[in-house]
Amino acid sequence: MRETELIRSLRAVRQFSDRQIPDDILLDILDTGRWTGSSKNTQPWNLIVVRNRETLVALSKCGQFAGHLAGATLAIVLVMDGDDPWTCMDEGRLMQNLMLAAWAHGVGSCIGSIYPGDTEQRARELLGIPSNLFVRTALSVGYPAGPQALRLPANSPVPKGRRLLDEVVSWERFGNRRPPPRPSPQGGGSSTLV
Ligand SMILES: Cc1cc2nc3c(=O)[nH]c(=O)nc-3n(C[C@H](O)[C@H](O)[C@H](O)COP(=O)(O)O)c2cc1C
């Protein structure tokens, strides 16, 4: 098993089983999220755990593509102090760490964006969030309904897989697709990455 397998195998899970998440696992997921690094260690976040089914259903209507929240075992809603680029990056890091922490326990998750913008106020009212705070994302959380829950349905318009490494990475300057030869410490010969 590759050391990075946990990270590589993380997929969006939108269908969930009825199996409950034990409290110690949920607390570990939340506590791992709490340890996320943030810009200047400002930790500009609060988390709301939602288990109430009616609230989950109402939340699922606060996002154009957030329907999966209705069937999640629970949601973790990210409440952020700001909407500047650094805080948004902090939010992304927090979300990814929560997802990875869940996945380390075999628990699946998927982001539900609170979108378009006017639905944010609805989510605030639903969860009693003060108007000076931001709520852009809720995470559906639960054990996957089965192996098919890790794959997109065949008719999904969302692309599958990932772009090729060669297409994504440049070396030294934008667009250089091959790494330049590396000088060896002895000064002779060269090696290239393949
Ligand atoms: C910023 C962001 C917003 C997302 N919003 C939604 C969403 O509203 N609804 C949804 O079902 N998936 C959402 N996703 C999940 C993406 O669709 C998913 O990461 C992508 O399709 C890759 O899925 P895979 O890892 O299963 O291949 C979001 C992901 C990110 C990073």
Question: Per-residue DSSP letters for 5-24?
Answer: HHHHT--B---B-SPPPPHH
Segment 138-151, tens digit of pLDDT: 999 999 998 889 88
Decide whether any atom of ligand 1 lies within 6 Å of the 111 Cβ: yes
Q: Does domain 7-150 have CATH number 3.40.109.10?
A: yes
Mean predicted confidence (pLDDT) in 166-173 = 95
**The pair of three-digit structure tokens given for residue 20, joined into one six-digit string:** 């409950």
| Separation of CA 182 and ligand 1 centre (Å) | 38
Mean predicted confidence (pLDDT) in 37-41 = 98
Q: Where does residue 33 rank: exposed (0-12), middle (13-18), buried (19+ CB within 10 A)? A: buried
Residue with tokens 């959380």: 141
Please report the pLDDT score of residue 192 as a whole number: 52
Q: What is the mean pLDDT of the chain?
A: 93
- Taking the C-alpha atoms of 34, 37, 41 and 47 in order, what is their torsion angle to the nearest 10 degrees? -30
| Separation of CA 92 and ligand 1 centre (Å) | 12
Mean predicted confidence (pLDDT) in 19-44 = 98
Domain boundaries, the chain: 7-150
- Ligand 1, atom 11, residue with closest C-alpha: 65
DSSP 112: E
Query: Among 97-106, 120-129, 142-151, which is the least confidently predicted range?
Result: 142-151
Q: Rounded CA gap, 157 and 160, in Å?
A: 9
> How does residue 187 score in pLDDT terms, banded at 50, 70 and 90?
low
- Ligand 1, atom 24, residue with closest C-alpha: 11
Please report the pLDDT score of residue 180 as a whole number: 84
- Beta-strand ranges (E) seen in 29-129 are 45-50, 74-80, 108-113
Q: Could you tell me the pTM of the whole model? A: 0.92
Share of the chain above pLDDT 70, in %: 95
**The pair of three-digit structure tokens given for residue 68, joined into one six-digit string:** 């999966």
